[in-house]
């Protein structure tokens, strides 16, 4: 006889474990290797347990991506809170988040889901909405063409580094970051 019925149910912890396991599988084996069974096995739950929290593999992947966007948003908010200069504050926080070393590591969740975003329409839609919401919220301080160029350049560096062999970096990465950061402070 099992003791499953005696265990205290902790749905938020189970959901978190499922999301973390899905992300780990994406990192280690790629999105194509992600299955409900592989997540269930790694999380120590049944397939039914995964389906209780996520109705499909697509719902699970989108939840993992939304979770990543939430983490990114909180990190950007922390950088913004520490920046006393209003003009370009969101863009500088975006740069700080994109240029932190672990954002470029090819073996992290951000990298795995960013690559998946290129081929998954649902993930692209989540990214577009997240970015549109942020840009709308910060339009007064970060709505200039110059700051848009800075953010697009940061995205280009991020994507370029994701395509390099593991462990390699773009030459002059520090200088690129410094130049883009300086551009956020140039007169409008």
Residue pLDDT, tens place only, 12-65: 888 999 998 998 888 788 788 889 999 999 999 999 989 999 999 999 989 988
> Does residue 49 sit in the same domain as residue 76?
no
Q: Say what the pLDDT of residue 18 is.
A: 93
> Does residue 50 sit in the same domain as residue 138?
no
> Does residue 113 sit in the same domain as residue 44?
no
Q: Is residue 3 part of a domain?
A: no
Q: Say what the pLDDT of residue 37 is.
A: 94
> Does residue 49 sit in the same domain as residue 65?
no
CATH number for the domain that contains residue 21? 1.10.10.60
Q: Is residue 157 part of a domain?
A: yes
Q: Say what the pLDDT of residue 2 is.
A: 52
> Does residue 24 sit in the same domain as residue 113?
no
In terms of DSSP H, where are the helices of the chain?
11-29, 36-43, 47-53, 57-81, 89-99, 109-119, 121-137, 139-142, 145-163, 173-183
Number of domains in the chain: 2
Task: Report the chain's terminal Cα–Cα distance, integer Å.
Answer: 71
65-68, Cβ contacts within 8 angstroms, sequence gap of 24 or more: 65/113, 65/116, 65/117, 65/123, 65/126, 65/127, 66/126, 67/19, 67/23, 68/23, 68/109, 68/110, 68/113
> Does residue 119 sit in the same domain as residue 36?
no
> Does residue 34 sit in the same domain as residue 96?
no
Residues of the chain with pLDDT under 50: 1, 106
Q: Say what the pLDDT of residue 111 is.
A: 72
Q: Is residue 25 part of a domain?
A: yes
> Does residue 76 sit in the same domain as residue 120?
yes
Full domain range(s) for residue 45: 8-55
């Amino acid at each position: 006889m099992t003791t499953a019925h005696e265990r205290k149910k902790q749905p938020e912890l189970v959901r978190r474990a499922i999301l973390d396991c899905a992300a780990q599988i994406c990192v280690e084996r790629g999105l194509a290797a992600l299955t409900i069974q592989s997540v269930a096995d790694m999380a120590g739950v049944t397939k039914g347990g995964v389906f209780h929290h996520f109705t499909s593999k697509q719902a699970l992947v989108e939840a993992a991506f939304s979770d990543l966007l939430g983490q990114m948003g909180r990190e950007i908010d922390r950088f913004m809170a520490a920046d006393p200069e209003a003009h370009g504050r969101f863009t500088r926080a975006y740069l700080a988040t994109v240029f932190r070393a672990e954002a470029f590591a090819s073996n992290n969740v951000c990298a795995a889901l960013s690559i998946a975003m290129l081929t998954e329409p649902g993930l692209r839609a989540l990214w577009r909405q997240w970015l549109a919401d942020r840009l709308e919220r910060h339009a007064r301080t970060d709505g200039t063409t110059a700051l848009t160029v800075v953010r697009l350049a940061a995205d280009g560096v991020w994507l370029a580094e994701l395509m390099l062999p593991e462990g390699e970096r773009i030459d002059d990465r520090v200088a690129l970051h410094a130049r883009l950061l300086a551009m956020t402070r140039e007169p409008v």
